[in-house]
Amino acid sequence: MVSGFQAGAAASGLKKSGEPDLGLIYSQTTAAVAGVFTTNQVQAAPVAITRERIKSGTCRAIVANSGNANCCTGQRGAADAAAMAKMAADALNIPEASVLVASTGVIGQLLDIGKIEAAMPSLISSISTDGWPDFARAIMTTDTVPKIVTRDVALGDASFSIAGVAKGAGMIRPDMATMLCFLCTDAGAAPETLQRLLKTASDQSFNRITIDGDTSTNDTVLLMANGQSGIVIEDQEAVDRFQEVLNEVLLSLAKMIVKDGEGATKFVEIEVTGADSIADARTVADTVANSSLVKTALFGEDANWGRIMAAIGRSGVPIQPAAIDIYFDRVKMVENGQGCGAGAEAGATRVIKQPEFKITIELNLGSCSALAWTCDFSIDYVKINADYRT
């Protein structure tokens, strides 16, 4: 998909299903790298190792496993994460420090590093320029579909590509959820430039989604740039264009994650307008998006605007309840803090029966706005998470 990058996958047996659970991304040349990670104070061993290694600004490969988070596993977990990287490095004949690691799955169980060692030859032999779909499936846990986005971008007389692969369907409320994302581009850029661009794009995408309000211990987003296209992202025009496309790729992946939320039947965009500040708008949007009562009403196809008002009121943002308007798509459900009657109720009910729709909250206090994306809480979400380990 992207010049100079290969990907592949293998089944090591970490997943009880026997499905592929080990993935590898390899750059044929040294790549600049940037990353953003979970802000949860409990962090998995691979997060700690990868966070430290990207300080060099370069890498060659990423090896990731599903089926085990390698979190809360002490010194043994740190040793296993390092061993996983070393196995890949030795097989690829590259420096150990140039291999980054990521894990996703059950927290608190030791990683069976012997299974990874046994599967490493198959993993190495699997990598190819066409191996991205296999990699995407290998990092899935409760995901129902692989998540891949690619873009080919013209810039002057030349072009570059960006590709992103992500996983996530539960424990999703990224604060940089279980969420992993790996991005590759054949553009070239300084590591500090990549870091700035990645953080901006993440803040506008992964940090604006929620499935269940839980931030994972393993969240990792990595961006590798190997410069194979000959384009260097350094002048303002190139920086602006790269940022635009990176934003688009990450937002597309973020929306895929929400749509694939565990047991989700609704995909809902929440926009808060008329706030005094962007921070206030984001806080209100996040509070509504994470409200269990709002999300269960979405599942029940009940346009229960009172739950939205209650969530706004407990957000901690100063509001004027009598100034608030709420819309379901274009149907005004609430005006000046009060319901708009049976006709509006019927219209909003028709909207909420759709698989995708928008809720707009107009605070009528200022000129700032913010977006968030969420899904409903269904019975299946409870079933999936009630016996996740068994």
296 and 168 within one domain: no
Tell me the residue range of the domain where 363 lies. Answer: 267-386
pTM for the structure as a whole: 0.94
Mean pLDDT of all residues in 265-282: 98
User: Are 236 and 305 within one domain?
Assistant: no
Average pLDDT over residues 267-295: 97
What pLDDT shows up at residue 176? Answer: 66
User: Which pLDDT belongs to residue 385?
Assistant: 86
**Residue 216: what pLDDT?**
87
What does the pLDDT look like over 316-366, one tens digit per residue? Answer: 999 999 999 999 999 999 999 999 999 999 999 999 999 999 999 999 999
> What is residue 202's three-state secondary structure?
helix
Q: Do 239 and 308 lie in a common domain?
A: no
- Domain end marker among 259, 294, 310: 259
Which of 140-144, 298-302, 329-333 has the lowest average pLDDT?
140-144
Number of domains in the chain: 2
**296 and 341 part of one domain:** yes
Burial grade of 343 (CB within 10 A; 0-12, 13-18, 19 or more) = exposed
Q: Do 217 and 283 fall into the same domain?
A: no
Would you place residue 166 in the very low, low, confident or very high pLDDT band (cuts 50, 70, 90)? very high
Q: What is the pLDDT of residue 390?
A: 67
Same domain, 214 and 279: no
325 and 248 together in one domain: no
pLDDT in tens, 81-106: 999 999 999 999 999 999 999 999 99
CA dihedral 324, 329, 330, 333 (to 10 degrees): -40
Here the CATH number for the domain that contains residue 377 is 3.10.20.340
Residue 118: pLDDT above 90? yes
**109 and 215 in a common domain:** yes
The CATH code of the domain that includes 139 is 3.60.70.12
Q: What percent of the chain has pLDDT over 90?
A: 90
3-state secondary structure at position 297: helix
Burial class of residue 151, CB neighbours in 10 A (0-12, 13-18, 19+) = middle
Query: Do 278 and 334 fall into the same domain?
Result: yes
Q: How confident is the model at residue 10 (pLDDT cuts 50, 70, 90)?
A: very high
User: Do 255 and 181 sit in the same domain of this protein?
Assistant: yes
195 vs 203: CA distance, rounded Å: 12
Residues 305 and 377 in one domain: yes
Of 206, 237, 259, which residue constitutes the final position of a domain?
A: 259
Domain boundary at 224, 259, 294, which? 259
pLDDT, residue 254, reads 95
pLDDT above 60 (res 25): yes
pLDDT digits 0-9 by tens, 188-240: 999 999 999 999 999 999 999 998 888 889 999 999 999 999 999 999 999 99
Residues 248 and 366 in one domain: no
Q: Which residues are marked as active site?
A: 178
Q: Which residues contact 45 (CB under 8 A, 6 or more apart)?
A: 70, 71, 73, 77, 78, 80, 81, 103
pLDDT at 214: 82
